[in-house]
């Protein structure tokens, strides 16, 4: 797979302007990224602007803390799909997982997956807050509920993706799901380490620099 097609080109935050979104979309068109990842309010606009490309629109659900009621996450997903979202990145209830309330975590993932209607769902488990055993459990629940990916981080926690966590997640899900590394993946070298550890997708706001450096290394069109 081409390196550019492993990147979710991302712009998330409370004060993102239309000008910043326009820049993101133009970069996505130029570099033909796998997707843009934007807040739900930008989904319809991004979908319209990208309609003549094969760049997908990804959005976030229960973001960034994962503390929304499970019915709200399910409804938010439905609205995002209605606006044109192609992929969904949802944040789990981390506190529920840590308190071993696995039913709640499974219930919210199930609701999102069902409303996504066969679209890609990536489950953000926020690894910086979890022990290795909790990471394994979160991955197992996500697989059980038919999520497409498990994802390391929102980028808004106390830490982002690590090689060790990506390896652990890949070892847990095996061929039953994919792994997305997100949070702190800023350079070509960072991205390559995550891919080598088992990530199939990279979430980053530095996609342009990563792909340009990959081109310098003759890796942009390499298959992984």
Are the beta carbons of 149 and 201 closer than 8 angstroms? yes
Catalytic residue (one of 122, 170, 180, 213): 180
DSSP string, 27-89: HHHHHT-SEEEE-GGGHHHHHHHTTTSS-EEEEEESTTT--S-HHHHHHHHHHHHHHT-SEEE
Indicate which residue of 8, 83, 86, 89 is catalytic: 89
Rounded Cα distance, 93 and 57, in Å: 24
Q: Are 142 and 125 in contact (CB under 8 A)?
A: yes
**Count of alpha carbons within 13 Å of 136, Cβ hemisphere only?**
6
Residue 2 DSSP symbol: -
Contact predicate 49/56, CB 8 Å: no
Pairing relationship of beta strands 35-38 and 7-11 according to DSSP bridges: parallel
89 counts as catalytic:
yes
Active-site residue among 151, 170, 190, 213? 151
The C-alpha atoms of residue 126 and residue 98 are separated, in whole angstroms, by: 11
Cα 8 off chain centre by: 7
Residue 29 annotated to the active site? no
Catalytic residues: 89, 151, 180
């Amino acid at each position: 797979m081409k390196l550019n097609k492993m990147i979710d080109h991302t712009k998330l935050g409370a004060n993102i302007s239309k000008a910043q979104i326009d820049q993101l979309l133009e970069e996505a068109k130029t570099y033909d990224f796998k997707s843009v990842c934007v807040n739900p309010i930008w989904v319809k606009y991004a979908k319209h602007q990208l309609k003549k490309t094969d760049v997908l629109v990804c959005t976030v659900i229960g973001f960034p803390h994962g503390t929304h009621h499970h019915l709200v996450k399910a409804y938010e997903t439905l609205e995002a799909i209605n606006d044109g979202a192609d992929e969904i990145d949802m944040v789990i209830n981390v506190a529920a997982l840590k308190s071993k309330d696995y039913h709640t975590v499974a219930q919210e993932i199930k609701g999102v997956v069902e409303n996504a209607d066969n679209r890609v769902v990536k489950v953000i488990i926020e690894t910086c807050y979890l022990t290795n055993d909790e990471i394994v459990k979160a991955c197992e629940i996500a697989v059980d509920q038919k999520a497409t990916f498990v994802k390391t981080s929102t980028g808004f926690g106390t830490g982002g993706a690590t090689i060790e966590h990506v390896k652990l997640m890949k070892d847990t899900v095996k061929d039953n799901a994919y792994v997305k590394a997100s949070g702190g993946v800023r350079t070509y070298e960072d991205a390559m380490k995550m891919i080598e550890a088992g990530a199939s997708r990279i979430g980053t706001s530095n996609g342009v620099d990563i792909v340009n450096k990959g081109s310098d290394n003759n890796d942009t069109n390499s298959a992984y």
